[in-house]
Amino acid sequence: DIVMTQTPLSLSVTPGQPASISCKSSQSLLHSDGKTYLYWYLQKAGQSPQLLIYEVSSRFFGVPDRFSGSGSGTDFTLKISRVEAEDVGVYYCMQGIHLPKTFGQGTKLEIK
């Protein structure tokens, strides 16, 4: 199975400041079709996860442009340019290239 490792596991950020979360996979997520199957989700307290980013860097419908994804191969990053109070929650990366699909451990974002 592909192991997804996120760092840090927790993050405390002042509103308006940037935040960055790293996700590393144990194998390359680049498919022979040229796409890289790396996703980011946010799970707010008491809610189901919601899709933020697909295929490394594409924002899903309705996701604010302060969220951006980058990376390639095995190293990926989610960045929030200016954190807002509504961004609080746990962020998960997930690989979709091989079954079983696997998630990172999660990164808890709190507001200072």
Question: Across-strand partners of 41?
Answer: 51, 92
Binding of another protein at residue 80 (CB under 8 A)? no
Binding of another protein at residue 68 (CB under 8 A)? no
Does residue 97 come out as left (phi exceeding 0), alpha (psi in the -120 to 50 range) or beta?
alpha
Binding of another protein at residue 35 (CB under 8 A)? yes
Binding of another protein at residue 77 (CB under 8 A)? no
Binding of another protein at residue 32 (CB under 8 A)? no
Binding of another protein at residue 94 (CB under 8 A)? yes
Measured CA to CA, the distance from residue 83 to residue 97 in angstroms comes to 30
**Torsion sign across C-alpha atoms 47, 95, 107, 60:** negative
Q: How many residues does the chain have?
A: 112
For another protein, the closer CB: 11 or 55: 55
Quickly list H helices, 1-112: none
The one segment of 14-22, 64-72, 76-84, 98-106 that binds another protein by CB under 8 A: 98-106
Q: Which residues in this chain contact another protein in the complex, by CB under 8 A?
A: 35, 37, 39, 41, 43, 48-51, 54-55, 58, 60, 92, 94, 96-97, 99-106
